[in-house]
Structure 1
Amino acid sequence: MDNEGDEVTFAIAQEPKKGMVALTEDGLGFVYTPGGKLGTDSFTYTAIDAYGNISLPATVSITIEKANSGVCYADMGGSRAHTAAVDLAEHGVFVGAKIGDSYFFEPERALSRGEFVAMALAAMDVSAEDVQMTGFCDDASIPTWAKGYAVSALNAGVVSGVSTAEGVAFRANDAITLNEAAVVLNRLLRVTDVDLSDYDVQDADNAWCAQAVANLQSVSVIESGRFSTDEMRSGVTRAQAAEILSAAMTLKDGRAGKGGLLSGIFG
């Protein structure tokens, strides 16, 4: 929507020279596919509102670099999350399954709480603790690979666990919503609180996570309007996680280049 609340559509005004660009299925973004050449490229697009008014062209600049991981997912053609998924592989955060000569990300597969916390900590270069037991009351049900991340997340103040009749539980195998994922990332990134009135996140049902969501929108970790209210309340898919974690890594790397606001926080 534009500033007046009207629906807008996008159109490519000038095609790139070193690749192809197409609108995503939802019409809210673009997917650029390089043609095999490295270097810089660009394309321009316009926005058209419900009354046929056309905006001035806007330019998108692209840098095409050689991939270090060699990963290209066979099941993400045309997905706007493909680049983000490859970025996770490039940073050693997560690599999908390799079957034969092809990699598969399974973009619509839902993540568990343990999986997302582990990926988020890995994306922020936070190591898993070397532990056999976590101290959570549901320790027996926490996968071995997740235990070290659960303890690291607890020590860093990223998670506090869920109070149950048996004690505080981690619930590693439960689904995690995008709202919950936003709280985890906001605590990891320590984004300065923004004025909630500037963001469309005020809702009686999501007051507990509104600040985290607004903070992440303010630094473009979550793109404003990218996910619907229902999506924010639903389980995180691998594709969604890739998008926000890749954006979080970009923010982290930018901070490191300016003196490292995150450096040294976790020891």
Structure 2
Amino acid sequence: MGRLDGRTALVLGGGHSPGGPAGVTGIGFACATTFAAHGARVVVVDRDADAAERTVDAVHEAGGRARAVVADVTVAEDVDRAVACTVEAFGGIDVVHNNVGSARLGGIEDLTLDQWRAAVSVNLDSVFLSARATLPHLVRRRGCIVTVSSTASIRWTGYPYPGYAAAKAAVNQLTRSLAVEYAGRVRVNAVLAGLIDTPLVYRQLAGADDPADVRARRDALSPTGAMGTAYDVAHAALFLASDEAAYVTGALLPVDGGLHARAV
């Protein structure tokens, strides 16, 4: 415990939204509560006020410190306001965690241009806007950025969502580019999340299918025979945000049960 004592973490997309089987949580919620459990003051940003407050309530119930900011991270002015609120509340920023993402099923011939651009906006523009707004603050504290990318950015995962895959691949290269440009001042890493059991799966990928069937199919796609949990990603993010990763930057860390290494 205490791996982030005295630090401030800005978690973009950290709200807790219901959905899916009982006990299933989102990655943003898991990361926010894990950071708080290790001593960080957490600012939870979400466009859904109720979702953000649910995460803040969970942090408070566990004895941590947190506050909510309602913002759309694809809107520059909203991101700037969220950063300003964080600095005003806690004096600076040490950790930025980008967790906003959205996947829309459909092959390349099925997507409209607007749908393609929406995928890029949510998955890539949000990371750009976050980095642009927070890097000046992170430089002052030699802080870090941890972004949730996806195994879909480097291989086929069984789902046709080319806009999502392409945007996440761009997130990977943005991560590496910033890591080298800011080396020695700010660490920049990404977690490549694989088949993770989150509410988003049941809202965006399940359609009208029974949740038990969705879970069984996704479990079967994993080399381990089971999906990971949001806390598997959160523990990796905690490592990358902590001093234990002081010499780690530009890394794309797969958290996918070996999916990235499988040939078929």
Which fold has the larger relative contact order, with Cα–Cα distance below 8 Å and residues 6 or more apart in sequence? 2
TM norm structure 1: 0.27
TM norm structure 2: 0.28
The structure carrying a bigger helix percent of its residues is 2
Q: Which has the larger radius of gyration?
A: 1
